[in-house]
Amino acid sequence: MMLKGKVAWITGAGTGIGLAGAKSLAEAGATVVMSGRRKKVLDEAAATISTAGATITVHPLDVTDAKAVQKAAETIIQQHGQIDILINNAGINTPNRFYKDQTIDGWNQVVRINLDGTFYCIKAVLDHMRKQKEGLIINVASWAGVYNAAIVGPAYNGTKHAVVSITETLNMEECQNNIRACAICPGEVNTPIMDSRPVPPPAADRKAMLQPEDLGKAICWVAQQPPHVCINQMIISPTWNRLYVGSIEKP
């Protein structure tokens, strides 16, 4: 129960990495606030967290709405007294993702959620974390935030590179306030976002990918580090990495 007494707010918490992170944080003793766009999905997800004595609340939220994000942070602080950990996990890509078929609306949707939403949530908690002289912000970026990936397109590559950059800028500016930030950069993870691929990966390939629980454990491990330790960036990939295009054969 290393996180007992800590309050963790996680976006995109209804499925995949977000839900796995919520479960791991609850198991470590944290009070967990789960946000996402769909209340029904959040409620059903929260009900799957069976950790005895865990405090789980849901707060539906569209991270592209800056005012709603600020209001959500204020409400969480009113309800729980603090926000110690923010996990920016909300993210999206579009099926039409390559230059030949990327629409302006699709581009804007990816930028608004992946980049703007991440910034809005950071902005909403920073003053509070400065006042309490402690805070951890974990931004779920991507392998594509470190290495350009051909299969994800320019909007996803660009926004995830930007998330890695703003994470390190946080450490540059806020380390004096004992605020630390980590960009977690996973390779392919078997989550529902795979279904939005132009050609969804086959079941056998998805089985060999990272699983949401792997990232949930990684999030929790970063959160459990003592306040003087900052994990600036964590790159995680499946052993059989499909993003090494042409360099390996499938077993």
Tens digits of residue pLDDT in 47-62: 999 887 889 999 999 9
Judged against a pLDDT cut of 70, whether residue 249 lies above it is answered with no
Q: Where are the domains of the chain?
A: 7-236
**Mean pLDDT on 20-33:** 97
Top CATH class of 7-236 equals alpha beta
Helix (H, G, I), strand (E, B) or coil at 199: coil
Helix (H, G, I), strand (E, B) or coil at 133: coil
CB 68 within 8 A of CB 90: no
CB 213 within 8 A of CB 17: no
At 62-94, the pLDDT tens digits run 999 999 999 999 999 999 999 999 999 999 999
Enumerate the active-site residues.
Answer: 156
CB 23 within 8 A of CB 11: no
- pLDDT for the residue 245: 62
Dihedral angle over CA of 155, 157, 159, 165, nearest 10: -160
Average pLDDT of the chain, as a whole number? 94
Percentage of residues in the chain with pLDDT exceeding 70? 97
